[in-house]
Amino acid sequence: MKKRGEENQGDKVEDLSSHDAIEKLKELIKHNSICMFATRLADTPLETRPMSVAQVDDEGNLWFLSGKSTKKNEDIAIDSHVQLFFSNVSDQEYLSVYGMASIVNNKPKIKELWTPIAKAWFNEGVDDPDISAIKLEPENAFYWDTKSGRMISLIKILASAVTGKTLQEGVRGKLTV
């Protein structure tokens, strides 16, 4: 029986910090900016909803546009601990980010984050009275990355199954921003 943490023994472990961690975070999110955004982490089941990252800044903070009147903003006002789950199945990349969220009502920042697609949620555009930004400051982040994409990964899995050799496919690690 494998012990906790040994489920991917064949994976290379790359724990990254500072600039390298921020660059890896940006790389993973660039490939898939949609995450499941979980609030009220002490409650079960978790309150989750899909959200799109508007920006990863140079300090590693993740930014979102959100309605002031949403349940998500209400949840953050009660408990600022949040967890994000990213899954890029086509490239076999996965990311989990835990941190502290805050609601930001700064018009210049909202304008910086604005994209035309956001008009679907904020009919009055960047000046919509219900628009706010959420800033997530990561405390812990973990990633799993195959480095070779889905098709190559499947071929390697099949080859490993046929030969009986342990699969050494991915890279996993902790990101300390």
Span 94-125, pLDDT tens digits:
999 999 999 999 999 999 999 999 999 999 99
Interatomic CA distance for residues 3 and 162, integer angstroms: 25
Is residue 27 within 8 A of residue 88, CB to CB? The reply is no
- Calculate the average pLDDT of the chain: 84
Phi then psi for 106, rounded to 5 degrees? -100, 110
Is residue 56 within 8 A of residue 70, CB to CB? The reply is no
| pTM to 2 decimal places | 0.81
Residue given tokens 């209400």 in the structure block: 74
* pLDDT tens digits for range 119-174: 999 999 999 999 999 999 999 999 998 765 444 444 444 444 455 555 455 677 78
Q: Residue 32 in 3-state DSSP?
A: coil
Query: Which of 9, 132, 11, 157 has its CA nearest to residue 63?
Result: 132
Task: Tell me the one-letter amino acid at 71.
Answer: K
The confidence score (pLDDT) of residue 174 equals 80
Rg (CA), the chain: 18
